[in-house]
Amino acid sequence: MSQRRKFIKQSLIGTALFIPSISTACAADEKQKSSESGEIPLILSTWNHGLPANQAAMDSLTAGGTILDAVEAGVRDTELDMDNLSVGLQGLPDREGITTLDASIMTGDGNCGSVAFVRQIKHPISLARRVMEKTPHVMLAGEGARQFAIAEGFSLEKEELSPKAAIEYEKWKKTSQYKPIINIENHDTIGMIGIDANGNMAGSCTTSGLAYKMHGRVGDSPIIGAGLYVDNEVGAATATGLGETIIKICGSFLIVELMRQGRTPQEACEEAVRRLISKNKNINDIQAGFLAINKEGVTGAFAVHPGFNFAKATQSGNVLIDSNSHFKP
């Protein structure tokens, strides 16, 4: 068990759960079953930080929030997680030593908002929601996004690396080589999709993107249809991993459209991974993973390589599940 996972499990002990009677089941690891079905409300999110994020989302629903409130509250938790080096301002910086953030949010009726290449904002997911709700646009980037944040009353954080990120950046500078590396610490975006008891869906996605990326690089996470897509008529999908490969296949949109044509969420995720593999020669160096739910609350998950996991929360519990993958361990 990784230290991170152990930490999350330990930190959950004693946390108030939305269903007290299943508290001991909360952090139990599971293997992915071929079809995970059908209990709503349901929240699904990427990686092990999905456990506390799901909890925050469920708490929001329980407190009377909408599914949109829930997916925002959920990933805000991760945006503050100082152990997470690829979400929030504590994330690893780009080549110039500057941390830039991407985020998107979407509701099942087709509303969406996103921010890309934004600096100094602690909660880019909330800024993405403001773009959706308060502007005629879908996406704001860079300095414009920061100006909009100021106008909306967001405070600007001091631009300095978190202690952990600073240590890692100093190590990286010794060689200054950028090569995407397949492991959990380098692909840690949180993508969250959820459905409430009435069948309304929403999703959120937030990241500091690839470590040591070129300044100005934007990944899949803020791009509607790549890192996130939600349609109440069909289902929702989100992605993590090497953003360029996900953008090239419109990964999340592809999965929702495959479900619209009759594929199960699992089949749709597997097809997206197959498509991604077929478009990339250097597949040994590429990790990507997808999550999906349909409007019945059936879930799917699939990755290129082993190592991807996700958290699933229903009223029966909040569990971490190891995803199946195209390449086997």
Min CB(136)–ligand ASP separation in Å: 26
Instruction: Out of 189, 204, 264, 299, name the contact with ligand ASP by CB under 6 A.
Output: 189
Q: Which range, of 7-15, 28-36, 142-150, 218-226, touches ligand ASP by CB under 6 A?
A: 218-226
Instruction: Out of 100, 200, 240, 266, name the contact with ligand ASP by CB under 6 A.
Output: 240
Q: Let me know: does 145 contact 117? Beta carbons within 8 Å.
A: yes
Min CB(13)–ligand ASP separation in Å: 27
Of the two residues 154 and 212, which places its CB atom closer to ligand ASP in the complex?
Answer: 212
Instruction: Out of 123, 187, 295, 305, name the contact with ligand ASP by CB under 6 A.
Output: 187
Q: Which range, of 29-37, 139-147, 207-215, 296-304, touches ligand ASP by CB under 6 A?
A: 207-215
Tell me the one-letter amino acid at 110: G
**For the chain, what is the radius of gyration of the CA atoms?**
18
Q: Is 189 a catalytic residue?
A: yes
Q: Which range, of 55-63, 151-159, 185-193, 316-324, touches ligand ASP by CB under 6 A?
A: 185-193
Give the 3-state secondary structure of residue 100: coil
E strands within the chain?
Answer: 29-31, 42-46, 101-107, 112-118, 139-141, 190-195, 201-207, 228-231, 235-241, 288-294, 299-303, 309-314, 317-322
Is residue 207 at the binding interface for ligand ASP, with CB under 6 A as the rule? yes
Of the two residues 219 and 225, which places its CB atom closer to ligand ASP in the complex?
Answer: 219
119/146 Cα distance (integer angstroms):
7
Phi, psi of 67 (to 5 degrees): -65, -30
Contacts of residue 15, defined as CB under 8 A and 6 or more positions apart, other chains included, come to 26, 52, 55
Is residue 209 at the binding interface for ligand ASP, with CB under 6 A as the rule? yes
Which candidate, 84, 24, 88, 15, places its Cα nearest to that of 56? 15
Choose the catalytic residue: 78, 107, 189, 245: 189
Of the two residues 118 and 210, which places its CB atom closer to ligand ASP in the complex?
Answer: 210
Min CB(131)–ligand ASP separation in Å: 18
How many of the chain's residues bind ligand ASP (CB under 6 A)?
14
Min CB(260)–ligand ASP separation in Å: 24
Q: What is the DSSP string of 170-235?
A: HHHHTT-------SGGG---EEEEEE-TTS-EEEEEEE--STTPPTT---STTSBTTTEEEETTTE
Q: Which range, of 112-120, 146-154, 204-212, 293-301, touches ligand ASP by CB under 6 A?
A: 204-212
Phi, psi of 324 (to 5 degrees): -75, 160
300/44 Cα distance (integer angstroms):
10
Q: Which of residues 65-94 bind ligand ASP (CB under 6 A)?
A: 86
Is residue 100 at the binding interface for ligand ASP, with CB under 6 A as the rule? no
Which candidate, 234, 249, 260, 230, places its Cα nearest to that of 288? 249
Of the two residues 84 and 264, which places its CB atom closer to ligand ASP in the complex?
Answer: 84
Contacts of residue 167, defined as CB under 8 A and 6 or more positions apart, other chains included, come to none
Residues that bind ligand ASP (CB under 6 A): 86, 187-189, 207, 209-210, 219-221, 240-243
Residues with a catalytic annotation lie at 189
